[in-house]
Amino acid sequence: MNKCLFCMIRDGEIPSDKVYEDEHVIAFRDIDPQAPVHVLIVPKEHYADITECPNETAGYMLDAARRLAVENGLTEKGFRLVMNTGEEGGQSVKHLHMHLLGGRQMTWPAG
Ligand code: AMP
Q: Is the CB of 87 under 6 A from ligand 1?
A: no
DSSP 12: T
Q: Is the CB of 84 under 6 A from ligand 1?
A: yes
Task: Write the DSSP string, 46-65.
Answer: --SSTTTS-HHHHHHHHHHH
- φ, ψ of residue 8 to 5 degrees: the values are -70, -40
pTM of the model: 0.98
Mean pLDDT of the region 76-88:
98
Active-site entry in 24, 38, 95, 97: 97
The residue among 61, 56, 68, 72 whose CA lies nearest residue 95 is: 61
Q: Is the CB of 91 under 6 A from ligand 1?
A: yes
- pLDDT of 111 over the 90 cut: no
Active site residue 46: no
Q: What is the tens place of the pLDDT at every residue in 31-58? A: 999 999 999 999 999 999 999 999 999 9
Q: How does 5-14 read in b/e, with b if 16+ C-beta sit within 10 Å? A: ebbebbeeee
pLDDT grade for 66, boundaries at 50, 70 and 90: very high
Ligand 1 nearest-atom number relative to CA 93: 4
